[in-house]
């Protein structure tokens, strides 16, 4: 074994050694910026060789080179410097800011990237350094509290489950608010709800967001919808999360090895009964190893990343294992043709406890007093409960395995310096196998079948394969005249998704098998969704004196989920941005030292969401019934069905003070969802299922503010703070004459769509105190908006030399949520807190549901972390060793005694609307104390 290990490590060692010893003469020196401050991390390469290095934290470097060779110094935002090696052994370099290079390039839309200052839309960006610091392994957790205008709500602490993500309010009653996720130009499966044929675990299911590859990410762009997403078409109205992976860099090869170890402890802040925690919780450990290798030269660069992760969660049951590797490369095939490829594989295994909507769930049973008032049980009774719980726990068997392959290929052809073609083609394939084994032993332990029963075990297996292929060809032309610049993009794009699901069920089984062959009764179900979307798009960005930019664009969009009577949709966008502070006269004025950036922008754009594939067709079902076929009506059909269109107008301004050390961004948006897809109740007398139709209109209006401040910035100390505040006003302005309908929760206490109210507001019968002291029961009462109309995040980052401290938090207020555990405790007669005595027992609790609805306000600190860079150690073997510690979810402040985020059980349909109006039966995300040690070579 040892010799095998040596054999495996040798190439790696050889690789490291090669970099250290290929030299003829040692050149050393110091690199500073234009203010004379040391510049760490400057890449220095010997041109024409693979030799390279980086400056250390004091800006010093040393490198081997021969006389006559050229050293190239490069750093983001600085003009690249070339120096020829002469007789001197020391070369010091002072770099200058490169105004053009400093312009952040956004990959928004299709085509080549466009400088941020030319865009009239806003994009939230998370860069490599910020991503690296965070302990999270899921895309949603990375963005939480770091994307300033996104609401990312952790709906559960169970492994593999993901957040409800939304930005500018709920725009659709027909689909989830999850943004489209694109990895290197390729759409990936983003299903964040139960699949159609998901297994009955009580509500929660593993989410596709949990296994989107997050290793080797160079940057994440969060595009919030509106004009910014027009060119993406199809279902981009919820916004886009665009992930760009590392593909190596021209420069010195480097590698890292990182080990992370964590302690996972349950969050007990929200427990009604401490005994629930005693029965179910136990601290667990997480362990992760990550490696990365990257490097390259002018013609070829590469990046490899891999990781292994395991944790055994905060309770006695959950475990998750994750194995990933990613590979990215850039190859210059000829002077004109470049190829960029990336490939990733993620394997994710996890298990779920029963949760929420099943009495098999111990957590929801305990917290909902399904086992009585735990506080009132005698020690003896409690011990019996503990014994029962401990009998059940090990028998719960609900597993999920996900395997995902994502590959992207991009060809870039430069016809001239100003004319470029990009062709991208890629695939994403995610395969899920879920198994739910209900053994006789489990059913007996639960009291669900009589003791001694041995032939009623069941096994369900849900298989889902999601396949997406994306193709895009576009041409970008850039032209610059004296006072005008033009960027012209013309392209065509398609994507096709196939979602195939099969559920296989065996019942009437004995214990001891995981093969369906061994069950006396076998049934199955299948489900298919297929959608093809294709469109042509163009964009013209016209620059005026390099300070103002006008954008005109549009997309002609068509997809196969529309009815026969429809035609392609044209989605226009227009925008303008004016960088006042870019005027020469302004930059030269004294005033620019105070107000360094003034930027105004405005735009209008349309984006769409399409209905679930095939919902336009009239269909029948042939169901198996008692061993034979049986016909019935299925979908009524709608030949006029078409995507709903979100029309967004936004205006904004950016103001930077004191060389942008204080930076304020504000945006006003107004979005109207036209032809909104509603699925109202059919009239019962029709005897048909409900049919989705373009009958509604939804309006979202709001403000987005972000403040970024760097109050301290000295040679040693840097302190930066970010605070965001967003508002959202949501209103269903037209329901097309349809009666109100329920989109979540229960019918008697539901999340409802109704004209004149917010989407998914809470509605139920309220008991209202009258002047004479009696209560009137008002049916269909408004009980609150489920979407908090005020939300934001905040973060802090402090560096002191090699020490870094950071923290982030997010908050929301103004919304309402139902505490379903309380409702259950009350129904079971164990909790009358706050309920008027005269109501208790006098009528159904569903006649006074207003007493179970509370504010959903919270302020939650998501991460606090610190790191220290030891710098070069081991005679250059390690270029740096970084030690870091983080704690996740350390502090929670909420309006009520329950966690207003644990709403994961509330999404009933695949990719369905999630109001988040019901907290129930699910453990909160745990506290994780993690340490990491990263060795950089």
Partner 1 sequence: MKKIIITIFGGLLLFSCTNGFDQVVDFTEVENPNLSEGSVVGVENSATILLSGVERELAFALNEILILAELGSDNYVNTQTFFSQFLDGLEMQATDPDIRDTARDIHRLRELALFGLETVGPGDPNYNTDIEAEFNFFAGMASLYFGMYFSALPGEPFGVPLTDVQHYQNAIDFFDAALALNAQPEYHLAKARANYYLGNQSEAVSAAQAALSLSTNFDRFALFDQANGPVNAFENALYQRATFDDLQPLPTLDFLDPKYSFLNTDQDAPVHYLKAEEAYLILAEANLADGNAGAAQTNISDLLDLIATREVRNIDDSIEQRIEVDPGSRPDNAAVVVNGRTGLVLDRQSGNVNVPSVSGTSLTAGDISSFTADDAGLELLYRTRQEVFIAEGLRFADMGVKLIIDENEILLNENISDGDPGTVPVIPSFISAVIPDLDAITYDATAGTATTAIDLNQILVANKTAPEVLPFH
Q: Kindly state the smallest distance separating residue 505's Cβ from partner 1, in Å.
A: 8
Q: Kindly state the smallest distance separating residue 269's Cβ from partner 1, in Å.
A: 26
Determine contact, residues 40/799, Cβ cutoff 8 Å: no
Of residues 585 through 614, those in contact with partner 1 by CB under 8 A are 613-614
CA-CA distance, 472 to 470, in Å (whole number)? 7
> What tokens does 555 get?
């997309």
Half-sphere exposure of 719 (CA within 13 A, CB side): 2
∠ CA 64-65-70, nearest 5°, is: 135
CA-CA distance, 795 to 805, in Å (whole number)? 11
Of residues 175 through 234, those in contact with partner 1 by CB under 8 A are none
Candidate segments 5-13, 314-322, 388-396, 676-684, binder of partner 1 by CB under 8 A: 676-684
Among 285, 631, 870, 883, binds partner 1 (CB under 8 A): 631
Q: Does 464 bind partner 1 (CB under 8 A)?
A: no
Could you give the 3-state DSSP secondary structure of residue 692? Answer: coil
CA-CA distance, 525 to 195, in Å (whole number)? 13
Q: Kindly state the smallest distance separating residue 502's Cβ from partner 1, in Å.
A: 12
What residue has token string 């990781």?
A: 307
Q: Kindly state the smallest distance separating residue 567's Cβ from partner 1, in Å.
A: 15
> What tokens does 724 get?
């965001």
Determine contact, residues 50/297, Cβ cutoff 8 Å: yes
The residue among 1 and 450 lying less far from partner 1, judged by its C-beta, is 450
CA-CA distance, 536 to 231, in Å (whole number)? 9
Report the DSSP beta bridge partners of residue 645. Answer: 608, 674
The residue among 580 and 827 lying less far from partner 1, judged by its C-beta, is 827
CA-CA distance, 13 to 5, in Å (whole number)? 12
Among 739, 756, 836, 874, binds partner 1 (CB under 8 A): 739
First to last CA, the chain: 26
Q: Kindly state the smallest distance separating residue 691's Cβ from partner 1, in Å.
A: 13
The residue among 451 and 482 lying less far from partner 1, judged by its C-beta, is 451
Q: Does 713 bind partner 1 (CB under 8 A)?
A: no
Sign, CA dihedral 369-375-377-380, equals positive
Report the DSSP beta bridge partners of residue 744. Answer: 751
Q: Kindly state the smallest distance separating residue 926's Cβ from partner 1, in Å.
A: 27
Q: Kindly state the smallest distance separating residue 160's Cβ from partner 1, in Å.
A: 24
Of residues 863 through 902, those in contact with partner 1 by CB under 8 A are none
Of residues 769 through 828, those in contact with partner 1 by CB under 8 A are 779-780, 827-828
Q: Does 747 bind partner 1 (CB under 8 A)?
A: yes
> Of 736, 926, 935, which is closest to residue 159 (Cα–Cα)?
926
Q: Kindly state the smallest distance separating residue 532's Cβ from partner 1, in Å.
A: 5
Q: Does 564 bind partner 1 (CB under 8 A)?
A: no
Q: Kindly state the smallest distance separating residue 207's Cβ from partner 1, in Å.
A: 24
Q: Does 625 bind partner 1 (CB under 8 A)?
A: yes
The residue among 370 and 897 lying less far from partner 1, judged by its C-beta, is 370
Q: Kindly state the smallest distance separating residue 844's Cβ from partner 1, in Å.
A: 5
Q: Does 626 bind partner 1 (CB under 8 A)?
A: yes
Q: Does 560 bind partner 1 (CB under 8 A)?
A: yes
> Of 742, 667, 753, 659, which is closest to residue 702 (Cα–Cα)?
667
Half-sphere exposure of 663 (CA within 13 A, CB side): 11
Among 306, 370, 393, 736, binds partner 1 (CB under 8 A): 370
Q: Does 574 bind partner 1 (CB under 8 A)?
A: no
The residue among 431 and 688 lying less far from partner 1, judged by its C-beta, is 688
**Total of chain residues touching partner 1, rule CB under 8 A:** 77
Q: Does 378 bind partner 1 (CB under 8 A)?
A: no
- Helical residues (DSSP H) of 195-294, grouped into ranges: 274-280
Q: Does 359 bind partner 1 (CB under 8 A)?
A: yes
Task: Count Cβ atoms within 10 A of the Cβ of residue 779 and give its class: 0-12 exposed, 13-18 middle, 19 or more buried.
Answer: exposed
The residue among 613 and 652 lying less far from partner 1, judged by its C-beta, is 613
Backbone angles phi, psi at 708, to 5 degrees: -120, 125
Q: Does 5 bind partner 1 (CB under 8 A)?
A: no
Q: Kindly state the smallest distance separating residue 915's Cβ from partner 1, in Å.
A: 17
Which DSSP string do the residues of 557-619 spell out, in sequence order? EEETTS-TT--PEEEEEEEEEEEGGGSHHHHHSTHHHHEEEEEEEEEEEEEEEPPPTTTTS--
Q: Does 423 bind partner 1 (CB under 8 A)?
A: no
Q: Kindly state the smallest distance separating residue 496's Cβ from partner 1, in Å.
A: 5
Q: Does 14 bind partner 1 (CB under 8 A)?
A: no
Among 512, 624, 834, 876, binds partner 1 (CB under 8 A): 624
Report the DSSP beta bridge partners of residue 115. Answer: 105
Q: Does 623 bind partner 1 (CB under 8 A)?
A: yes
Backbone angles phi, psi at 820, to 5 degrees: -70, -30
Q: Kindly state the smallest distance separating residue 748's Cβ from partner 1, in Å.
A: 5
Candidate segments 302-310, 354-362, 661-669, 893-901, binder of partner 1 by CB under 8 A: 354-362
Q: Does 686 bind partner 1 (CB under 8 A)?
A: yes
Q: Kindly state the smallest distance separating residue 440's Cβ from partner 1, in Å.
A: 13
Report the DSSP beta bridge partners of residue 404. Answer: 346, 430
Annotate each residue in 511-550 with x if it binds partner 1 (CB under 8 A) or - if it does not, as one string: ---------xx-x--x-x-xxx-x----------------
Q: Does 714 bind partner 1 (CB under 8 A)?
A: no
The residue among 476 and 616 lying less far from partner 1, judged by its C-beta, is 616
Residue 541 belongs to what H/E stretch? Answer: strand 519-544
Candidate segments 240-248, 294-302, 305-313, 358-366, binder of partner 1 by CB under 8 A: 358-366
Among 79, 843, 908, 931, binds partner 1 (CB under 8 A): 843
- Other Cβ atoms less than 10 A from the Cβ of 323: the count is 15
Among 23, 566, 688, 713, binds partner 1 (CB under 8 A): 688
> Of 108, 111, 105, 109, which is closest to residue 423 (Cα–Cα)?
111
What residue has token string 């055994």?
A: 312
Among 629, 714, 771, 837, binds partner 1 (CB under 8 A): 629
CA-CA distance, 740 to 758, in Å (whole number)? 12
Length of the chain: 937
Q: Does 358 bind partner 1 (CB under 8 A)?
A: yes
The residue among 368 and 792 lying less far from partner 1, judged by its C-beta, is 368
> What tokens does 125 get?
């960006």
Distance of CA 235 to CAs 15, 171, 289, 638, Å? 46, 12, 36, 19
Q: Does 473 bind partner 1 (CB under 8 A)?
A: no
What residue has token string 């200052």?
A: 117
Q: Does 84 bind partner 1 (CB under 8 A)?
A: no
The residue among 434 and 438 lying less far from partner 1, judged by its C-beta, is 438
Among 162, 374, 446, 919, binds partner 1 (CB under 8 A): 446
Could you give the 3-state DSSP secondary structure of residue 888? Answer: strand
Determine contact, residues 862/889, Cβ cutoff 8 Å: yes
Q: Does 622 bind partner 1 (CB under 8 A)?
A: yes
Of residues 478 through 507, those in contact with partner 1 by CB under 8 A are 494, 496, 505, 507
Candidate segments 92-100, 382-390, 580-588, 615-623, binder of partner 1 by CB under 8 A: 615-623
Q: Kindly state the smallest distance separating residue 711's Cβ from partner 1, in Å.
A: 53
Determine contact, residues 299/322, Cβ cutoff 8 Å: no
The residue among 127 and 681 lying less far from partner 1, judged by its C-beta, is 681
Q: Kindly state the smallest distance separating residue 631's Cβ from partner 1, in Å.
A: 4
CA-CA distance, 305 to 349, in Å (whole number)? 19
């Amino acid at each position: 074994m040892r010799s095998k290990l040596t054999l495996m490590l040798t190439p790696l060692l050889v690789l490291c050694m090669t970099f250290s010893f290929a030299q003829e003469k040692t050149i050393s020196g110091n690199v500073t910026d234009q203010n004379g401050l040391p510049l760490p991390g400057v890449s220095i390469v010997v041109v024409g060789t693979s030799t390279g290095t980086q400056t250390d934290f004091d800006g010093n470097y040393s490198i081997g080179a021969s006389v006559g060779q050229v050293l190239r110094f490069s750093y983001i935002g600085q003009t690249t410097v070339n120096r020829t090696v002469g007789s001197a052994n020391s070369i010091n370099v002072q770099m200058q800011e490169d105004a053009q290079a400093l312009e952040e390039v956004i990959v928004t839309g299709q085509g080549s990237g466009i400088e941020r200052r030319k865009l009239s839309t806003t994009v939230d960006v998370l860069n490599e350094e910020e991503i690296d610091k965070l302990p999270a392994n899921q895309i949603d957790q990375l963005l939480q509290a770091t994307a300033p205008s996104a609401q990312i709500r952790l709906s559960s602490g169970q492994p593999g489950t993901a957040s409800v993500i939304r930005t500018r309010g709920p725009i659709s009653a027909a689909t989830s608010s999850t943004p489209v996720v694109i990895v290197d130009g390729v759409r990936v499966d983003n299903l964040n709800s139960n699949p159609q044929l998901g297994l009955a675990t009580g509500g929660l299911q593993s989410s596709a967001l949990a296994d989107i590859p997050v290793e080797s990410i160079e940057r994440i762009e969060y595009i919030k919808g509106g004009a910014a997403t027009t060119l993406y078409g199809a279902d981009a109205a919820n916004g886009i999360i665009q992930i760009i992976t590392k593909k190596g860099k021209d420069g010195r090869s480097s590698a890292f090895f990182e080990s992370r170890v964590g302690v996972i402890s349950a969050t007990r802040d929200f427990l009604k009964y401490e005994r629930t925690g005693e029965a179910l919780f136990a601290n667990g450990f997480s362990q992760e190893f990550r490696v990365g290798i990257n490097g390259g030269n002018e013609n070829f660069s590469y990046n490899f990343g891999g990781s292994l992760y395991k944790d055994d969660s905060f309770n006695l049951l959950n475990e998750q294992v994750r194995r990933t590797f990613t590979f990215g490369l850039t190859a210059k095939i000829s002077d004109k043709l470049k190829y960029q490829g990336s490939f990733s594989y993620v394997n994710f295994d996890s298990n779920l406890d029963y949760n929420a909507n099943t009495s098999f769930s111990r957590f929801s049973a305990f917290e909902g007093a399904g086992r009585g008032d735990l506080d009132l049980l005698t020690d003896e009774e409690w011990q019996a409960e503990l014994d029962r719980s401990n009998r059940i726990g090990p028998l719960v068997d609900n597993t999920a395995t996900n395997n995902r392959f994502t590959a992207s290929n991009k060809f870039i052809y430069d016809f001239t310096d100003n004319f470029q073609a990009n062709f991208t083609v890629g695939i994403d394939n995610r395969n899920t196998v879920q198994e739910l084994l209900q053994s006789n032993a489990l059913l007996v332990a639960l009291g669900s079948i009589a003791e001694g029963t041995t032939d009623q075990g069941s096994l369900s297996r849900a298989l889902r394969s999601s396949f997406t292929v994306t193709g895009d060809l576009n041409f970008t032309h850039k032209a610059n005249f004296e006072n005008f610049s033009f960027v012209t993009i013309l392209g065509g794009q398609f994507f096709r998704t196939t979602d195939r699901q099969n559920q296989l069920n065996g019942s009437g089984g004995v214990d001891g098998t995981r093969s369906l062959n061994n069950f006396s009764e076998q049934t199955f179900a299948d489900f298919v969704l297929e959608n093809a979307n294709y469109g042509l798009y163009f964009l013209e960005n016209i620059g005026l004196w390099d300070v103002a930019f006008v954008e005109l664009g549009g997309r002609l969009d068509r997809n196969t989920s529309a009815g026969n009577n429809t035609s392609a949709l044209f989605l226009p966008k227009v925008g303008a941005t004016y960088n006042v502070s870019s005027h020469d006269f302004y930059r030269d004025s004294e005033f620019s030292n105070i107000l360094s950036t003034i930027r105004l922008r405005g735009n209008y754009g349309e984006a769409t969401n399409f209905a679930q594939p095939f919902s336009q067709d009239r269909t029948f079902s042939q169901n198996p019934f008692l061993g034979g076929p049986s016909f019935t009506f299925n979908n009524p059909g709608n030949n006029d069905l078409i995507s709903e269109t979100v029309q967004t107008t936004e205006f904004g301004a950016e103001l930077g003070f004191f060389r942008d050390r204080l930076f304020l961004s504000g945006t006003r948006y107004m979005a109207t969802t036209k032809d909104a897809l509603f699925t109202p109740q059919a009239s019962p007398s029709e005897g048909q299922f409900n049919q989705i139709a373009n009958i509604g209109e939804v309006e979202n209006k709001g403000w987005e503010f972000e403040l970024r401040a760097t109050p301290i910035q000295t040679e040693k100390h840097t302190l930066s703070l970010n605070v965001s505040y967003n508002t959202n006003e949501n209103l269903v302005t037209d329901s097309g004459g349809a009666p109100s309908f329920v989109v979540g929760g229960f019918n008697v206490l539901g999340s409802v769509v109704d004209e004149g109210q917010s989407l998914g507001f809470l509605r139920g019968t309220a008991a209202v105190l009258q002047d004479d002291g009696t209560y009137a029961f008002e049916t269909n009462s408004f009980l609150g908006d489920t979407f908090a109309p005020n939300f934001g995040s905040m973060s802090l980052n402090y560096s002191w030399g090699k020490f870094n401290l950071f923290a982030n938090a997010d908050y929301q207020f103004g919304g309402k949520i139902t505490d379903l555990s309380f409702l259950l405790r009350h129904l079971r007669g164990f909790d009358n807190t706050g309920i008027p005595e005269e109501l208790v027992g006098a009528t159904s609790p569903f006649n006074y549901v207003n007493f179970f609805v509370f504010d959903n306000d919270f302020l939650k600190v998501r991460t606090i972390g610190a790191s220290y860079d030891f710098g070069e150690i081991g005679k250059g073997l390690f270029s740096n060793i970084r030690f870091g510690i983080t704690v996740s979810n350390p502090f929670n402040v909420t309006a009520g005694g329950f966690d207003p985020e644990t709403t994961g059980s509330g999404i009933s349909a695949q990719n369905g609307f999630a109001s988040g109006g019901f907290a129930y039966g699910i453990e909160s995300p745990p506290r994780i104390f993690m340490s990491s040690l990263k060795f950089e070579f």
